[in-house]
Structure 1
Amino acid sequence: MKFNPIAFVINLAIPLAAGAIGSILTLTSVKTWYPTLAKPSFNPPDSIFPPVWTCIFILMGVSAYLVWQKREQIAHFPRMIAVYAIQILLNMMWSFLFFYAKNLGAALFEVVFLLIVIVINGTMFYKIDKTAGLLFIPYFLWVCFATALTYSIFSLNG
């Protein structure tokens, strides 16, 4: 398949924009409220989160581009895009619930739902393009870690 630079950039921009929105939702709380919370011993330094999330959003965009290239061969492409969009919205929703709304319980519930949708999305992508599906593995693993972290913070502060 021929490389389409415009489609590639758009597919990268979508998850990166979602990440930017999530970051905006965390700005105030990450400096004021979040430092006051009790955290587990495995809580990484705050400086780890931006580069890890940026890499994950880039992998997500590359994955989406690989699937987009095969869109004409996919009978259920609109459904696949809907699942992808829901997964991105759920990703942003966690930032909203945890940092903006400061609702640790809702964030915990939501991140578990996000994990389920990540698995569904990654599996759907894998069936279309193995590389696209495999690119979701770091995202899944990171959100598993985020789930454990959210649970621990909720337990320590809830």
Structure 2
Amino acid sequence: MELLKVNGKMDTKSLAKHVLVPIIGGSVTGWLANRHAQEKYQKLKKPSFSPPSAVFPIAWTTLYGLMGLAKYRVSKQQEGKRKKEISIYELQLGLNFLWSFLFFRWELRGTALVEMTVLLGAIALTAYDFFQVDRAAGTLMIPYIGWVIFALSLNYATWKLNE
């Protein structure tokens, strides 16, 4: 419960907003990007380490919640100031949402791979900057980095298997 408090206080409304924005945004993006694309995706050759489809919404919902919590913690530490940490966070979130369209909707798997490489850099920079403001916030971004490294290898392998 201490993780939800910043400077000894919890702002429930702000916390909910910060956590729900990436979760809802990711859900809507996933629905829009994957609508009518799953049949094609199921027909693709996938690497042996590709997890079952049911893993992805669970993983992404968890990761979106963690990144929202991290942003909440940083925004509370910087209340009244607009810092670059938040802009970089928003950039990586936008890149995250874009990837689904590139990979699923538009079937630009090579482009998605390049974009995800940029995304990984933006996430790492966000985590570093968050860590400078709030150690817990930076630490909350680490599972996201790990998952995107895994997703990057999955994107690459799927792209190569289906060229």
1:9 aligned partner:
16
Which stretches in structure 1 are left out of the alignment for 5+ residues?
none
What secondary structure does 2:49 align onto? coil
Structure 1 residue 98 corresponds to structure 2 residue 98: no
What secondary structure, in the 3-state scheme, does the structure 1 residue paired with 2:47 have? Answer: coil
| 4+ runs deviating over 3 angstroms | none
TM-score, scaled to structure 1: 0.94
Gaps of 5+ in 2: 1-6
C-alpha contact 2:75 2:86 (8 A) present in aligned 1: no
Q: 2:42 aligns with which of 35, 39, 56?
A: 35
Q: What is the number of equivalent residue pairs in this alignment? A: 155
Q: What is the Cα deviation at residue 68 of structure 1?
A: 1.0
TM-score, normalization by structure 2: 0.91
1:135 corresponds to: 140
Structure 2 residue 71 is the aligned partner of structure 1 residue 64 = yes
Aligned to 1:86: 91
Identity percentage over the alignment? 35
- Quick one: distance in 1 between partners of 2:71 and 2:117? 22
In structure 2, the residue matched to 1:51 is 58
> 1: CA distance between counterparts of 2:56 and 2:146?
14
Deviation per residue, 1:45-96 (Å, 9 max, x gap): 001000011000010111011101111486xx33222111100000001001
